[in-house]
Amino acid sequence: MARIPAPTEAPAALVLICGDDDFGVKQRARQIYDTWCREAGGMDHEIIDAAVGNTGEALRALGKLREALNTLPFFGGSKVVWLQNCSFLGEDRTSGSAAVTDSLAALADELKTFRWEGVRLLVSAAKPDKRRTFYKTLEKLGSVESFAALSADDRDWAGKAEAEAMRILRANGREIAEDALGELVSRTGPNLRQIAQEVDKITTYALPRTALTLADVQAVTPRQKTAQAFSLAEAVGDRNLPKLLRSLDEELWEIRNGVDKRKSEIGLLYGIISKVRTLLFMKELRTAGILKPARDYNSFKVQLERLPASDLPADKRFNPLAAHPFTLFQALRQTDNYTTDELVTAMGSLLEANRKLVGTDSDEALVLQQTLTEIVGLAPRPRG
């Protein structure tokens, strides 16, 4: 799910919040628990820690849950029980043990006949095994909300990350500039927990101001590991030579030391070729008036969706829509940094570098450094 939904009607008496997005699960579960406790009043609510390491601990947690469900509030009224961070609903060794499986099946039978008057049960867990009886029972008797972690493979991850950042900022009476929001998402990558942490850091840094700027993001938000794949290409797009040389040095260090076996000098070159080709495409679309500078990622996607497929190349290698939408969004913002002639010249330089890497014994690192420095250059960024 993209963000924490605002509470509307009171949820059912039995709710499971689950998924591999640990941040989203915890936020939503806490929201429901706090809402239920306010509605119920009283002091007899219970939180049972169900993050366990073995079968014995899992059985003890289930025992505490049964006891909590069957113990009425001391002064009457309603009671809320939260089985928190349940780690034995999945496919790991503890979850698959016969004792835990049997105990969960028995609990499922008990829940089917349980009298829910004045009692609410909330379960929060990692990604569950949906084939299990317990999951099916919770799904049938109550409601299930699933939170999937963001992934770079998700074409809409940037929109979801932006939406979460804006939700947090608005809840705290803050605003953020368009370029700052794009930079925040670019540096953080597909990680909602990291987005929340960085928003908190930037907000604190900017006090007493309520409007956050690009300079604020650049001052306190480092480029996270999940976003490193964008670093070199974005430095080229930004026409930022110091950042480019730092990113290139980091990439070459990983290649020399075998940190990531999938990386190679020729792979880095092909990534830059793809970036410059995208910049050239977006420059042409903008010059022709087909695309216009976007206020934010979501408004850019609206423009993108309106592009007639018949006007674009059928070959995916030359079709800008085949690229990730966030890559296109960044490229459109970066088209101000180059003229069309410079981008055409850059493609020629990259093709020459490709010839050297493939057909000669040239030093790969030196070829990349010279080519990229020539493309980015030391001159001021052009406009238009």
Reported as a single tens digit per residue, the pLDDT across 324-352 is: 677 788 889 899 999 999 999 999 999 99
Q: Please give the pLDDT value at position 228.
A: 57
Between CA 14 and CA 124 the distance in angstroms is: 11
Give the rounded percent of residues in the chain with a pLDDT score beyond 90: 46
How far apart (Å, rounded) are the C-alpha atoms in residues 75 and 9? 27
Instruction: Determine the average pLDDT of the residues in 41-65.
Output: 92
User: Which residues contact residue 28 at a Cβ distance below 8 angstroms, ignoring those fewer than 6 apart?
Assistant: 1, 4, 5, 17, 145, 147
Contact (CB, 8 A) for 72 and 37: no
Residue 7 has what pLDDT?
A: 38
CATH number of 14-146: 3.40.50.300
pLDDT value of position 208 = 94
Q: What is the pLDDT of residue 264?
A: 84
The confidence band for 376, taking pLDDT boundaries of 50, 70 and 90, is very high
- Given a cut of 80, whether residue 8 has pLDDT beyond it is no
CATH class of 232-376: mainly alpha
Both tokens assigned to 75:
């002064």
Fold of 157-220: Helicase, Ruva Protein; domain 3 (1.10.8)
- Every domain of the chain and the residues it spans: 14-146, 157-220, 232-376
Average per-residue pLDDT for the chain = 85
| DSSP secondary structure, 55-108, as one string | HHHHHHHHHHHHHHHTS--TTSS-EEEEEEEE-SSSSSHHHHSHHHHHHHHHHH
Given a cut of 90, is residue 159 above it in pLDDT?
A: no
Residue whose pair of structure tokens reads 């990386």 in the numeric block: 263
| Higher pLDDT among residues 32 and 295, named by residue | 32
Sign of CA dihedral 322, 323, 324, 326: negative
- 289 CB-contact burial (10 Å; exposed 0-12 / middle 13-18 / buried 19+): exposed
pLDDT, average across residues 219-233 = 74
Common-topology check for domains 14-146 and 157-220: no
| Ranges assigned E (strand) in the chain | 14-18, 46-49, 79-86, 119-125, 143-146, 175-176, 211-212
Write down the residue that tokens 């608005």 correspond to.
170
Please check the confidence at residue 16 and state whether its pLDDT lies above 80. yes
The model's pLDDT over 85-110, given as tens digits with 9 standing for 90+, comes to 999 999 899 999 999 999 999 999 99
- The segment with the largest mean pLDDT, out of 17-31, 67-81, 223-237, is 17-31
- Tell me what pLDDT residue 150 has: 78
160 versus 155: the higher-pLDDT residue is: 160
pLDDT for residue 72 is more than 80: no
What is the residue whose two structure tokens read 């009283």?
Answer: 42
* Cβ-contact 296, 162 below 8 angstroms: yes
The whole-angstrom separation of Cα 380 and Cα 303 is 30
Pairing, β 79-86 against β 119-125: parallel
Amino acid at 144: V
pTM (global) more than 0.85:
no
**Among 57-66, 202-211, 265-274, 289-298, where is mean pLDDT lowest?**
289-298
- Say whether pLDDT at 233 is over 50: yes
Structure tokens that stand for 377 in this block: 């250059």
